[in-house]
Structure 1
Amino acid sequence: MKTNNAALMRDLYNLILNPATRDWERHLLVQVKDNPQQLSPTGQLKQLEADLRPLATRDNLTPDVMDFYLALTGNGSVVPKSDYSDTPQIDASHEERAVFAGGCFWCMVEPFDQRPGIIAVTSGYTGGSWAQPTYEQVSGQYTGHVEAVEIRYDARKTSYRELVKLYWQLIDPTDQFGQINDRGNQYRPVIFYANPSQMAIATASKQAVIDSKRYKQPIVVAIEPLYHFWPAENYHQDFYRKQPQRYRRMKKAHDHYLKWLAFKNKL
């Protein structure tokens, strides 16, 4: 349980001012802020933890409030806030990036993150018209954005072609309305290209999948230009490390579906 009152007050103010915080969450946070003398494990802080717990257990708090709740409860699976300022830097002439959308970004990070040559994998939003979108706005399909991952990699150790090849193995390319259990336009599969070379590789890879005739339904993965990638809230970064048990359950269901899809297309 956090007991540093100065840090708590700073976090409370940041969450209250955060436009992504829901009104009812903000109301609870303001109550605590207005009663600083009760910021103790047995006072107002304990009540706040109890008020947030029902939705926290269902993963239905806004991301930054969830981060606060996990720190508040001392959850052992919590890792420090992701700080991409200390991401390893390499010679800029060898660093490139790829951006893919393939359903919930929680399941898209780990497969890329474990490959040689990967510098960082960031969950975020792209493809829409709104600046600095929040998770709730994207989930509400107000912004036109999709959930995606940005992969920074060392081109001397891996290639864009190899990353695209892996991407096709992670998705159902015949589903334009989402991916597996993730339904909605924000989960549609898209390859975003940053330059003509990436567009040519992505286009050729899509044609190769079509020509393989592995799928009985049309291949609907879009290939679109990349304009701006907005990193998602901290709660969504490195989810497979922060919530390993939940991630393993999701990955198991995801893998089972893709195996079933491959089997069905062979019949």
Structure 2
Amino acid sequence: MLKETIIMRTTEEILKEIYNLILNPSTREWERYLLTNTKDNLEAQGNESEQLAKLEMELRPLAIRNNLTPDVSDFYQRLIGKDVQVTTLDEHQIRDPQFQERAIFAGGCFWCMVEPFETQAGIVSVLSGYTGGKLSHPSYDQVNSGMSGHVEAVEIIFDTRIISYQDLLDLYWQIIDPTDALGQFQDRGLQYRPIIFTTTSEQIRLAESKRQQIVDSNTYKKPIIVEIKEAASFWPAENYHQEFYKKQPKRYKAIKRARQQFLTYRHLRGKLRNKIGLKNLY
């Protein structure tokens, strides 16, 4: 994906960004209160370095706990001097319909759904976003509330000459818990339920065949609850969430480790269940 680095340079540029955050409906009231105070003080008094240092100090407790809204979090990163890579949609589109295809998978928090696919040969682009609900242009807070009907998902553009949809399906089933209808791993809520969103009739056929194969394998005692639905509108998530594994590598590795430990345990139990035929193994 094409990246741009935003560097705050002038008071005018900073004020413009603060204005946009104040008007952003996703900005929480406490954040808006702090941003409005900073804007007013900058306009009345100037003294940019002092006002921004004060704002950084006020936002810091929420930033440390990763409790800022996504756009404010990006602003805070720039405030403390870190480059923020902006994911654009220019590269996330099908440019060669003859050999490129779109796939959409939901399997828990999209932070952990990007790297497994993006690092495969033949992947053109992976975008984190929201889909499956009726709300247009949903924000992270709206989806995270569980009331929007959307799930967190990844939209993948891939080159069919290098990697097939069947390959993507095989990978998908390796990185989810297909028996958990109320979330995935430590992520709880309907917004994290596993769903395969299909974009073609052939994807429907392959997805249903793969799901039946998993059911017939007797790997899981609990029912397989993964849904297969036709793809609807896919709404890109905020920049903060895009390629999270690159932006927050330490935090991502900790989440990934816990997820892998659980999956390893489940897969081993599944193999043992099949090998010795224990119907009640788990």
**TM-score range relative to shorter protein:** over 0.9
1:97 to 2:102 alignment: yes
For 1:185 and 1:62, the matched residues in 2 are separated by 21
Shift, 1:40, TM fit: 2.5
For 2:125 and 2:208, the matched residues in 1 are separated by 25
For 2:8 and 2:234, the matched residues in 1 are separated by 34
For 1:191 and 1:88, the matched residues in 2 are separated by 20
Say if 1:222 and 1:9 are closer, same or farther in 2 by CA, change over 3 A.
same
**Aligned residues, how many?**
264
1:40 to 2:48 alignment: yes
Contact 2:74/2:84 (CA < 8 Å) preserved in 1?
no
Shift, 1:136, TM fit: 0.1
Deviations 1:141-181 (A, max 9, x none): 12100000000111111111110110000000010100000
Aligned equivalent of 2:256: 251
1:63 to 2:105 alignment: no
Aligned equivalent of 1:4: 10
Contact 2:183/2:189 (CA < 8 Å) preserved in 1?
yes
Runs of 4+ in 1 over 6 A off after TM superposition: none
Indicate the percent of aligned positions where both proteins have the same amino acid: 51
Unaligned residue ranges in structure 2 (runs of 5+): 1-6, 273-280
Letter in 1 for 2:57: A
Aligned equivalent of 1:21: 27
Aligned equivalent of 2:145: 140
Instruction: Calculate the TM-score normalised by the size of structure 2.
Output: 0.90
Matches within 5 A, 1:144-163: 144-163=149-168
Shift, 1:38, TM fit: 3.7
Aligned equivalent of 2:277: none
Shift, 1:94, TM fit: 1.4
Which has more radius of gyration? 2
Instruction: Calculate the TM-score normalised by the size of structure 1.
Output: 0.95
1:178 to 2:191 alignment: no
For 1:220 and 1:89, the matched residues in 2 are separated by 31
Equivalent of 1:242 in 240, 247, 251: 247
Contact 1:32/1:39 (CA < 8 Å) preserved in 2?
no
Contact 1:179/1:187 (CA < 8 Å) preserved in 2?
yes
